[in-house]
């Protein structure tokens, strides 16, 4: 059985967990603490979560894990069967994770963890986020799902990361740059949050926060 390592505050851990739950793939959840010890770095060389253990060995990086799941369990159709639609789903994931969440991550130390971020970093991040949030809005359909009528792994990525971008920008700039761009992410979050897989992810995240408060 696949073992999924990480913890419930990690959006990328939650992305993989949501995919496993949504598509009914059996797995065992293993909660690890950061920094990973040397034994666990044998599975995740950069000391990051999530990573999985399989009968073939270990695999890290959330999107690599999702691609593996898609290839190993083709009957679940994690990505769309149509090659073009599957590519559009991957395109959305790249925008959410590389151009939005990774950029906003520069702000997290001040937005969420009580640290400080330089004015230069804030200004640079704000400029890039304005550009890419607008680009994401042009790509995303929200009809009602981010890639169209079908729930997809692009929704798993968007569900766990877009709220972080919105909240971080609200805290740092005094304005939610996602909402300001005309994306009703709260309504979208409510839609995805009605799915049992998302409810499980949210409940486990809240329980983790309560247990570690």
The reply to whether 19 and 111 lie within a common domain is: no
Instruction: With a cut of 90, say whether residue 124 has pLDDT above it.
Output: yes
Question: What CATH number did the domain enclosing 87 receive?
Answer: 1.20.1050.10
Q: How many CB atoms lie within 10 A of CB 76?
A: 15
What does the pLDDT read at residue 135? 97
Q: Are residues 131 and 70 in the same domain?
A: no
> For the whole model, what pTM was predicted?
0.96
Does residue 14 sit in the same domain as residue 116?
no
How confident is the prediction for the chain on average, in pLDDT? 96
Count of domains for the chain: 2
102 and 205, same structural domain?
yes
Rounded percentage of the chain residues whose pLDDT exceeds 70: 100
| Averaged pLDDT for residues 137-146 | 98
pLDDT given at position 38: 87
User: Tens digits of per-residue pLDDT, 5-15?
Assistant: 999 999 999 99
pLDDT at 212: 85
Which of 51, 76, 101 is the endpoint of a domain?
Answer: 76
Return the closest-CA partner of residue 48 out of 93, 2, 13.
13
Q: How confident is the model at residue 42 (pLDDT cuts 50, 70, 90)?
A: confident
For residue 80, the model assigns a pLDDT of: 96
Of 20, 51, 76, the residue that ends a domain is 76
Write out the DSSP string of 29-48: EEE--SSP-HHHHTTSTT--
Q: Residue 43: give the domain boundaries.
A: 2-76
- Other beta carbons within 10 angstroms of residue 65's beta carbon come to 22
Same domain, residue pair 68 and 144 = no
Domain termination site, one of 52, 76, 100? 76
- pLDDT reported for residue 106: 97
Q: What confidence score (pLDDT) does residue 39 get?
A: 84
Confidence at residue 131, expressed as pLDDT on a 0 to 100 scale:
97
pLDDT score for 74:
96
Q: Do residues 111 and 196 share a domain? A: yes
Predicted local distance difference test score (pLDDT) of residue 174: 98
Same domain, residue pair 114 and 159: yes
Question: Which pLDDT score is estimated for 159?
Answer: 98
We report the CATH number of the domain holding residue 59 as: 3.40.30.10
Note whether 71 and 87 are same-domain residues.
no
- Is there a single domain that holds both residue 58 and residue 160? no
Q: Are 157 and 173 in the same domain?
A: yes
- For residues 68 and 134, membership in a common domain is answered with no
Distance CA 62, CA 11 (A): 10
Residue 25 has pLDDT above 90, yes or no: yes
Identify the H or E element spanning 59. strand 57-60
% of the chain beyond a pLDDT of 90? 92
Q: Are residues 147 and 196 in the same domain?
A: yes
């Amino acid at each position: 059985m696949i073992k999924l390592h990480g913890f419930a505050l990690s959006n990328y851990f939650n992305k993989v967990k949501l995919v496993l739950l949504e598509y009914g793939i059996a797995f065992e959840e293993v909660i690890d603490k950061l920094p990973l010890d040397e034994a666990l770095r044998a599975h995740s060389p950069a000391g990051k979560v999530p990573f999985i253990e399989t009968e073939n060995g270990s695999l890290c990086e959330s999107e690599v894990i999702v691609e593996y799941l898609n290839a190993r369990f083709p009957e679940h159709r994690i990505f769309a069967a149509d090659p073009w639609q599957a590519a559009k789903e991957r395109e959305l994931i790249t925008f959410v994770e590389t151009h939005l969440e990774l950029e906003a991550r520069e702000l997290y130390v001040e937005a969420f963890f009580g640290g400080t971020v330089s004015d230069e970093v804030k200004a640079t991040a704000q400029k890039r986020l304005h550009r890419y949030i607008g680009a994401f809005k042009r790509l995303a359909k929200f009809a009602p799902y981010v890639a169209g009528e079908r729930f997809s792994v692009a929704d798993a990525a968007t569900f766990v990361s877009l709220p972080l971008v919105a909240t971080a920008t609200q805290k740092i700039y005094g304005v939610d740059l996602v909402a300001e761009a005309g994306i009703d992410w709260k309504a979208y979050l409510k839609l995805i949050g009605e799915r049992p897989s998302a409810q499980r992810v949210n409940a486990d995240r809240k329980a983790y926060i309560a247990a570690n408060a």
